[in-house]
């Protein structure tokens, strides 16, 4: 209720005409000031709340914008979850960050046009090729900067497989130390043990049912960090053997496809069917059934006509079968020639007649080099058949393990025809059955070179070399492969040392065969039984000499080889004693009667499916964590499991049986898997194997 206070006339005049107000008005003005401030503060708070809400709404919209199905993108990388919400894949952008304000979403495409270094073309496209598979096409293409593009893939507590043959091979992949990205190209890992091997593909597979395939167009370099537990994928042209396609700027692009499936086996089957070419036929069944016998580890370059005939005679004498004899280095007078050295092979035609009469077929060693002292060197220079120096004016000289010479340019149709015609001439003149194609790695190309058809990716040279084996593929042998799964011949793993360990030793065979099988190469030749017996790279036997591989090592190697797709001898069993001969006879017979029929059945399926013949345990147990880490056992198909002894001095081993009913080679039954059989006894003349009982 208001109260009226009368004012005296004098006071009223004073108020109207004077500078000061009444004491009461002053008091009211003073009391009203906090109310104004409070109102202003309220307005500010309301405005701030509106701004915050708008910013929050925009952030929500941006967050929704930067999501795809099961994928979240941020400026530093992206992550993928599975249907259950678990994180299964993480990729970090190491070379730059995205400007998220430049990003947009249209349908299943996320795209961005700027990074912290300038303009780019970035997108992630989501594709669902089938109900159980979800794929993401990822591309980061620089439009201004010529620097490298690098993404780092985290292991994410999973196990990874694939990539390349390496000198020290582990299953699953075990990256050691810190390695800056190196060109991912084929190399001879026997001579350079830190390089990537002669068989490689840009493909990796994870126990999290995730797979990644790097695109062919990428100038791809691979590194890793043990500390960060990451694989480093890098695209660059600077300081690199990769070259941009003619007419294009050297702006790097890193693009790849990540696919997620319901389990590791099914996602691998999808990737192989989608991205890998398949062989068009199965090589000679005889090579799967009967051992191949090579002169290399036994005689090296000292092989002669007399030694070859004696070797063949001894094979028959000791009661062994033979798919074919392989006459290795060095039967020619000089490297790069295509006829026999008359000093070492005085009657080559008669020798072949004798071998044929005795039931032997013969293959010959060949390679892509012509040494400068060969009569064919001048011919190749005159015809322009060699890989050349960058100017294209002069042939480039290369150093290989047998000297210095030129290397044939297999992008040149004339060089291909010249080389092939000489092989056909040898085949016709001597009735040669096939050839062992040695080398072919890009590491034997000069650092700077030119070819008739320019190579953006140096490993394309390896592909072109493998094509030379096609006319002889029934019994041909290659040791390199890049996008060569459709070359229907045998792929040999690189030379093994006569040692027990993981560095090109006995323990490396299963991880290497599993790795190249995952890469799509199924017709595997696991190199020579006992290794190559190279000086200083041979386990010392009881005699204290390095002449022969250790006897126990040789026997265990023989037993493992009997369960591989094909067997290859060089050091013969009779170089030891009668017991070794008997063990060898037992296992060559077991290979022919038990293993080869199953392998040939699976080889026929490879033409349609590309599925491995030699399989990891997780192939049939993909929800079993233990199965992902086992590198000393393997499957032939789904139902024959093999567990060789790979340790010196052991006549027992621990064996893991996945879930299911298994029958051992001794007739025992095991029905309560998964289980470990600890210290399972395996005598020196035995290998443990188990059949899955349906």
- Residue 147 pLDDT grade (very low, low, confident, very high; cuts 50, 70, 90): confident
Q: How far apart are CA 220 and CA 222, in angstroms?
A: 7
Task: Specify the pLDDT at position 235.
Answer: 98
What is the per-residue pLDDT across 501-557, written as a single tens digit (0 to 9) for each? 999 999 999 999 999 999 999 999 999 999 999 987 887 654 555 589 999 999 999
Task: Specify the pLDDT at position 117.
Answer: 86
Pairing of strands 230-235, 149-154: antiparallel
Cα angle: 140, vertex 160, 226; to 5 degrees: 80
What is the per-residue pLDDT across 615-627, written as a single tens digit (0 to 9) for each? 999 999 999 999 9
Closest CA relative to residue 473, chosen from 604, 197, 338, 280: 280
Q: Tell me which H or E stretch contains 641.
A: strand 640-643
Residue appearing with tokens 């053997």: 241
Pairing of strands 71-74, 634-636: unpaired
What is the per-residue pLDDT across 544-561, written as a single tens digit (0 to 9) for each? 555 899 999 999 999 999
- Residue 3 pLDDT grade (very low, low, confident, very high; cuts 50, 70, 90): very low
Peptide bond preceding 583: is omega within 30 degrees of 0, i.e. cis? no
Mean residue pLDDT of the chain comes to 92
In degrees and rounded to multiples of 5, residue 371 shows phi and psi of -70, 155
Q: How far apart are CA 93 and CA 112, in angstroms?
A: 14
Alpha-helical (H) ranges within 398-498 are: 413-430, 460-466
Task: Specify the pLDDT at position 2.
Answer: 31
Task: Specify the pLDDT at position 55.
Answer: 53
Q: Is the pLDDT of residue 12 over 60?
A: no
**Tokens standing for residue 678:** 């600890």
Q: How far apart are CA 392 and CA 414, in angstroms?
A: 16
Q: How far apart are CA 330 and CA 349, in angstroms?
A: 17
Instruction: Determine what percent of the chain is predicted with pLDDT higher than 90.
Output: 84
Task: Specify the pLDDT at position 539.
Answer: 72
Quick check: 408 and 368 in contact, CB under 8 A? yes
Task: Specify the pLDDT at position 246.
Answer: 87
Helix (H, G, I), strand (E, B) or coil at 561: helix
- Residue 681 pLDDT grade (very low, low, confident, very high; cuts 50, 70, 90): very high
Alpha-helical (H) ranges within 66-190 are: none
Task: Specify the pLDDT at position 146.
Answer: 85
Quick check: 222 and 196 in contact, CB under 8 A? yes
**Tokens standing for residue 177:** 């130390």
Task: Specify the pLDDT at position 581.
Answer: 98
Q: Is the pLDDT of residue 1 over 50?
A: no
Q: How far apart are CA 281 and CA 272, in angstroms?
A: 17
Give the DSSP per-residue string, 348-369: HHHHHHHHHHTT--EEEEE-SE
Q: Is the pLDDT of residue 641 over 70?
A: yes
Task: Specify the pLDDT at position 29.
Answer: 52
Helix (H, G, I), strand (E, B) or coil at 408: strand
DSSP 670: E
**Tokens standing for residue 338:** 């295509």
Contacts of 275 (CB under 8 A, 6+ apart): 203, 213
What is the per-residue pLDDT across 575-606, written as a single tens digit (0 to 9) for each? 999 999 999 999 999 999 999 999 999 999 99
Residue appearing with tokens 């499991």: 641
Contacts of 261 (CB under 8 A, 6+ apart): 132, 133, 134, 209, 210, 211, 267, 270
What is the per-residue pLDDT across 285-308, written as a single tens digit (0 to 9) for each? 999 999 999 999 999 999 999 999
| CA separation, residue 138 to residues 214, 254, 256, 434, 456 (Å) | 10, 8, 5, 44, 21
Give the mean model confidence (pLDDT) for residues 10-22. 43
Residue scoring higher pLDDT (85 or 231): 231
Q: How far apart are CA 491 and CA 129, in angstroms?
A: 32
| CA separation, residue 372 to residues 206, 340, 392, 444, 452 (Å) | 47, 18, 19, 16, 21
Contacts of 140 (CB under 8 A, 6+ apart): 93, 120, 121, 122, 149, 151, 253, 254, 255
Task: Specify the pLDDT at position 545.
Answer: 52
Q: How far apart are CA 60 and CA 76, in angstroms?
A: 18
- Residue 247 pLDDT grade (very low, low, confident, very high; cuts 50, 70, 90): confident
Give the mean model confidence (pLDDT) for residues 195-223. 97
Quick check: 152 and 94 in contact, CB under 8 A? yes
Give the mean model confidence (pLDDT) for residues 368-396. 96
Task: Specify the pLDDT at position 33.
Answer: 67
Give the mean model confidence (pLDDT) for residues 649-674. 95
What is the per-residue pLDDT across 304-319, written as a single tens digit (0 to 9) for each? 999 999 999 999 999 9
Give the mean model confidence (pLDDT) for residues 343-354. 98
Q: How far apart are CA 583 and CA 579, in angstroms?
A: 6
Percentages helix, strand, coil for the chain (3-state, rounded to 5) are 30, 25, 45
The residues with which 103 forms a beta bridge, in sequence order, are 112
- Residue 278 pLDDT grade (very low, low, confident, very high; cuts 50, 70, 90): very high
The least confident of 46-60, 66-80, 445-459, 462-476 is: 46-60
- Residue 56 pLDDT grade (very low, low, confident, very high; cuts 50, 70, 90): very low
Task: Specify the pLDDT at position 547.
Answer: 80
Give the DSSP per-residue string, 170-210: -SS----SEEEEEE-----TTT-TTS--SBEEEEEEETTTE
Q: Is the pLDDT of residue 58 over 50?
A: no
Identify which of 53-57, 262-266, 539-543 has the greatest average pLDDT: 262-266
Contacts of 170 (CB under 8 A, 6+ apart): 502, 511, 631
Q: Is the pLDDT of residue 179 over 80?
A: yes
| CA separation, residue 247 to residues 55, 143, 242, 250, 680 (Å) | 46, 15, 15, 10, 64
Residue scoring higher pLDDT (2 or 245): 245
Task: Specify the pLDDT at position 65.
Answer: 65
* pTM of the full structure: 0.91
């Amino acid at each position: 209720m208001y109260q009226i206070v009368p004012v005296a006339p004098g006071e009223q005049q004073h108020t109207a005409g004077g500078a000061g107000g009444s004491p009461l008005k002053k008091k009211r003005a003073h009391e009203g000031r906090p109310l104004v401030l409070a109102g202003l503060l309220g307005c500010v708070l309301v405005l701030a709340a509106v701004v915050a809400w708008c910013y929050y709404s925009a952030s929500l919209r941006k967050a929704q914008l930067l999501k795809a199905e099961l994928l979240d993108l941020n400026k530093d990388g992206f992550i993928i979850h599975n249907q259950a919400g678990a994180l299964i894949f993480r990729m970090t952008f190491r070379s730059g960050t995205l400007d998220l304000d430049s990003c947009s979403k249209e349908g299943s495409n996320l795209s961005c046009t700027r990074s912290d270094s300038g303009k780019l073309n970035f997108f992630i496209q989501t594709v669902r090729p089938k109900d159980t598979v979800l794929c993401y096409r990822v591309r980061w293409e620089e439009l201004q900067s010529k620097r490298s593009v690098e993404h780092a893939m985290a292991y994410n507590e999973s196990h990874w497989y694939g990539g390349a043959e390496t000198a020290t091979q582990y299953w699953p992949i075990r990256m050691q130390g810190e390695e800056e990205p190196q060109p991912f190209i084929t190399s001879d890992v026997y001579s350079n043990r830190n390089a990537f091997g002669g068989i490689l593909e840009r493909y990796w597979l994870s126990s999290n049912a995730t797979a990644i395939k790097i695109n062919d167009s990428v100038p791809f370099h691979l590194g890793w960090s043990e500390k960060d537990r990451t694989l480093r994928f890098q695209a660059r042209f600077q300081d690199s053997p990769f070259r941009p396609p003619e007419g294009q700027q050297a702006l790097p692009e890193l693009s790849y496809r990540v696919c997620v499936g319901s389990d590791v086996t099914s996602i691998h089957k999808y990737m192989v069917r989608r991205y890998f070419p398949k062989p068009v036929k199965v090589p000679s069944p005889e090579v799967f059934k009967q051992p191949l016998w090579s002169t290399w580890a036994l005689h090296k370059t000292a092989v002669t006509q007399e030694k070859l005939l004696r070797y063949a005679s001894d094979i028959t004498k000791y009661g062994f079968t033979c798919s074919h004899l392989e006459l290795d280095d060095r039967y020619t007078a000089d490297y790069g020639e295509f006829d026999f050295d008359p000093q070492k092979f005085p009657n080559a035609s008669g020798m072949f007649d004798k071998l044929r009469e005795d039931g032997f077929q013969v293959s010959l060693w060949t390679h892509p080099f012509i040494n400068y002292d060969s009569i064919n060197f001048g011919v190749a220079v005159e015809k322009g058949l060699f890989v050349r120096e960058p100017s294209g004016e002069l042939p480039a000289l290369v150093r290989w393990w047998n000297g210095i010479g030129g290397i044939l340019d297999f992008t040149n149709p004339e060089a291909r025809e010249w080389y092939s015609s000489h092989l056909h001439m040898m085949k016709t003149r001597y009735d040669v059955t096939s050839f062992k194609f040695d080398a072919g790695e890009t590491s034997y190309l000069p650092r700077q070179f030119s070819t008739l058809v320019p190579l953006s990716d140096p490993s394309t040279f390896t592909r072109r070399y493998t094509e030379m084996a096609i006319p002889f593929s029934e019994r041909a042998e290659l040791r390199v492969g890049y996008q060569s799964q459709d070359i229907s011949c045998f792929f040999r793993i690189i030379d093994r040392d006569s040692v027990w360990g993981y560095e090109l030793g006995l323990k490396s065979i299963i991880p290497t065969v599993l790795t190249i099988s995952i890469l799509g190469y199924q017709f595997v030749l696991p190199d020579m039984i006992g290794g190559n017996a190279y000086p200083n790279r041979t386990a010392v036997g009881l005699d204290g000499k390095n002449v022969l591989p250790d006897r126990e090592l040789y026997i265990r190697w023989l037993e493992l080889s009997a369960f591989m797709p094909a067997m290859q001898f060089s050091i013969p069993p009779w170089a030891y004693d009668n017991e070794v001969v008997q063990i060898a006879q037992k296992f060559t017979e077991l290979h022919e009667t038990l293993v080869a029929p199953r392998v040939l059945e699976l080889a026929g399926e490879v033409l349609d499916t590309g599925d491995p013949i030699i399989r990891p345990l997780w192939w049939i147990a993909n929800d079993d964590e233990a199965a992902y880490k086992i590198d000393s056992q393997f499957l032939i198909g789904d139902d024959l499991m093999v567990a060789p002894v790979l340790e010196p001095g052991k006549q027992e081993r621990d064996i893991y049986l996945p879930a299911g009913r298994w029958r051992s080679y001794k007739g025992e039954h095991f029905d309560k898997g998964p289980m470990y059989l600890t210290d399972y006894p395996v005598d020196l003349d035995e290998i443990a194997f188990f059949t899955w009982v349906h």
